[in-house]
Structure 1
Amino acid sequence: MTDSLKEGLRKAAMFCAYQERTQQEVRDRLKEWGIFGDDAEEVIAELIQQNYLNEERFAKAFAGGKFRVKGWGKRKIKQHLQQRGISGYNLDQAMKDIAPDDYRETLTDLLDKKRRSLHDDNPLVVKQKLVRYALSKGYESELIFAVLGREE
């Protein structure tokens, strides 16, 4: 390994140690630093070997964070993970980490909070706004209607 490659590995390790990253994020950063092709892949392989880079760990951290902090639904989380190049097994593992009871409870809380902010006398308009809001957060329509139907 050349000195510039060792320096790239050191910088990339610090980049990954700061927060979980995907291989694509590291590849893009290496490109910014002038490390391309086989050299970049060698650095990435070394980061994986040293456990600085782990896409399953990234997917679980991302999904858990977006669910707990931002209240995102599984559809939105899945879409964002796929945009970051996460698929298959890692994507499935991240989704499994979201407990069904917590998921439903979070949706219920989001809808309750949103309902308090709506000022409309027509219950159909309120329900329509709640459904649109929950869909925009990435929740599945069947679950949204199940939660809203239970409250009526």
Structure 2
Amino acid sequence: MTDSVKDAIRKAAMFCAYQERTQQEVRDRLKDWGVFGDDAEEVIAELIQQNYLNEERFAKSFAGGKFRVKGWGRRKITQHLKQRGISGYNLDQAMKEIAPDDYRGTLTTLLNKKRQSLHDANPLVIKQKLVRYALSKGYESDLIFSVLGGE
């Protein structure tokens, strides 16, 4: 292992220790530092072995955080994880971070909060805006209509 690879491992370990990262984010950063090909893969393998890099852990913390902090729905979280190269088993594990009861409750809270900011005489217009808002947050249309159904 060359000194440049050891240096890259040290820098990448600090990069990963700051916050959870995906392999692709580390690859991109290594490229910025001028580390390519086999050297880059060696750095990534070492980071995985030392548990600095763990895509399942990244996916779980990303999904849980975006749901709890930003109120994102499963569709939006899934889309963003796929853009970061997360799929299959890790994606499934991330979705398990979102409890079904919490999911529906969060959607209900978001819609109630949004309703307070809407002012229109026509209830259909308000419902349409609420549906559009919830869809933009990444919630499934059948769940949205189920929550709004009592209106």
TM-score normalised by structure 2 residue count:
0.99
Partners of 1:111 and 1:97 in 2: how far apart?
A: 22
Q: 1:97: Cα distance to partner?
A: 1.1
Structure 2 match to 1:83? 83
Partners of 1:121 and 1:110 in 2: how far apart?
A: 21
Q: Superposed, which structure 2 residues align to 1:56-75 within 5 Å?
A: 56-75=56-75
Structure 1 match to 2:137? 137
Gaps of 5+ in 1: none
Structure 1 match to 2:10? 10
Q: Does 1:120 align with 2:120?
A: yes
Percent identity of equivalent pairs: 87
Cα deviation 1:8-33 (Å, max 9, x = unaligned): 00000000000000000000000000
Partners of 1:37 and 1:145 in 2: how far apart?
A: 50
Q: Does 1:24 align with 2:32?
A: no
The size of the alignment, in residue pairs, is 151
Partners of 2:7 and 2:148 in 1: how far apart?
A: 55
| Structure 1 outlier segments of 4+, above 6 Å | none
Structure 2 match to 1:110? 110
Partners of 2:6 and 2:94 in 1: how far apart?
A: 32
Structure 2 match to 1:98? 98
Q: 1:62: Cα distance to partner?
A: 0.3
Gaps of 5+ in 2: none
Structure 2 match to 1:34? 34
Three-state SS of the structure 1 residue aligned to 2:149 is: helix
